Structure 1
């Protein structure tokens, strides 16, 4: 017994978006035996690009029921059926999230017609629903609407069944059963809820405290990999016995998962995370004016509530940068605390000298760079953005897919600011150097 489903939404993340339309085709393994379709008022504004894609606008759903009004009926239709969708985890995470918000517990077995199609029809160039419909001559009415896509997916499922699909389905359902490898105190529901997307995962102990934070390109696969190793050592077994729950935060890309992992380790200081748990020693070049009216540059350890002209992980890097400024802009080493000299020559004019210092600071900050790292997310059609401002990691978030402005003020309306640390600074710098095609100069 199967439920073949398609939904339309206001965006890609269920916690911050709503469902605008749902269609459910009930299938008994031989033929279609029922169908349900309805528009839903999502409770969120529908972005213009979604309206352009689907034709569903705020006016379209103004008089439609809310999800809570149809949740019971949806739950009844889906219960005791294998859940099927094309790119199933997108539809599944949305429906599960909104059912859970309305008090309905739902953890079905799932099948993805995209993955099934790879087995049933190997060798195709692409396995998107549109391409499969074209290659397999599946008629589609109302493409990018829940009803049209669900009906097309149902026909695709029929074709998969005819291509030895029953065996393929059995194999896939076996792969989804990981209960036998789980730690003794971790319920299978914790694993079943994990999506196949990038993100950060958290292991909790019996009291709910976070004891380990990790990052993943694929959350479910990475979490399961913790339980499949052959290490039977005392420390590992103790670690496994202390895992009572797994929670997670989805990330648009693997790169943003790396960044968030570092942020969360510094925030929670988990018991079983051993890397990144050390006192960081940042250095900065600071600018100040002395009693004689001279602008002076000095290297010092970074401290809270102070903002240096530039930050460095290593003291040697800070010294090299400052000496370069001294030579290039003819600054006095003693005024930069690079030489011990009690008296500054009276021939130095403070106004002219201060202008050189300002030029040197501007040059340094411009060279450190203000740019964005833009990537396509694992799911959805928005843009992942990591902003670096004057060489310093500012934050990250998702931009609309049609965003064309890269003004910092505009970008920051979509981004979450995070504290920078040594690991993030090194990671962002390395990633930017290796992926120059993903860099966008910020105005």
Structure 2
């Protein structure tokens, strides 16, 4: 039986959203591990807390290092998979789980939670790709491209915390055009997968560069 977390009904301004990104040492969660987790807790439009850790794994393949810059030396003294998963669960709490390509992050983490006997996470979730597609026009919705057109100055693309910050800014931009009937966190989740869109009237213009690090 999974460990079910409930999201409380409240306005989406008051709702907590946990924007998460993970880096892994492979694409298949049954054969791979997480090597880095980054997350920001968002409430009332602003970041109220953050989570950032390397995670120990037995190996970091060379091709992963080329993509992320993460080496085995970076993770060799990091928390174990189980320790990091417990830390992340405590951080997420009852927040809505948000990610850019949420299907990957959510399913990968759930596979690991079950692998280590911790039970599935049951938080509501939505994808910032889905939300952005319904909120503004763009030729592409990959995170690197959205960083460019939205003026997001990402510190390190393909690093967990930096990408979580970028996804937060994409979410925040999308929230600017939510329909009036979207009033709660639950409504945001439903809108993100609905047939509704506000994007034709809300094509983003390039904005001043927004750093994602201090």
TM-score by length of 2: 0.75
Q: Corresponding residue for 2:3?
A: none
1:25, 1:36 within 8 Å by CA — same for their partners in 2? yes
When residues 69 and 171 of structure 1 are mapped into structure 2, their CA distance, relative to the original with a 3 A threshold, is closer
Q: Corresponding residue for 1:8?
A: 23
Asked whether 1:107 is paired with 2:104, we answer no
Residue-by-residue CA offset, 1:245-295 (whole Å, 9 max, x unaligned)? xxxxxxxxxxxxxxxxxxxxxxxxxxxxxxxxxxxxxxxxxxxxxxxxxxx
When residues 113 and 32 of structure 1 are mapped into structure 2, their CA distance, relative to the original with a 3 A threshold, is same
**SS, match of residue 107 in structure 2:** helix
Greater relative contact order: 1 or 2 (C-alpha under 8 angstroms, separation 6 or more)? 2
What are the equivalent positions in structure 2 for 1:37-186 lying under 5 Å apart? 37-43=52-58, 45-105=59-119, 106-122=121-137, 124-164=138-178, 167=182, 170=187, 172-173=189-190
Q: Corresponding residue for 1:36?
A: 51
Write 1 or 2 for the structure with the bigger share of helix: 1
When residues 63 and 92 of structure 1 are mapped into structure 2, their CA distance, relative to the original with a 3 A threshold, is same
Aligned counterparts of 1:5 and 1:17: Cα–Cα separation in 2: 18
C-alpha root-mean-square deviation of aligned residues, in Å?
2.0
Aligned counterparts of 2:101 and 2:107: Cα–Cα separation in 1: 11
**SS, match of residue 141 in structure 1:** coil
1:23, 1:37 within 8 Å by CA — same for their partners in 2? yes
The size of the alignment, in residue pairs, is 174
TM-score by length of 1: 0.37
Structure 1, unmatched stretches of 5+, are: 177-443
What are the equivalent positions in structure 2 for 1:200-239 lying under 5 Å apart? none
Q: Corresponding residue for 2:33?
A: 18
Higher gyration radius (CA): 1
What are the equivalent positions in structure 2 for 1:192-203 lying under 5 Å apart? none
Give the Å deviation of 1:118.
0.5
Aligned counterparts of 1:146 and 1:175: Cα–Cα separation in 2: 23
Aligned counterparts of 1:165 and 1:17: Cα–Cα separation in 2: 40
When residues 165 and 147 of structure 1 are mapped into structure 2, their CA distance, relative to the original with a 3 A threshold, is farther
When residues 164 and 102 of structure 1 are mapped into structure 2, their CA distance, relative to the original with a 3 A threshold, is same
Aligned counterparts of 1:94 and 1:23: Cα–Cα separation in 2: 14
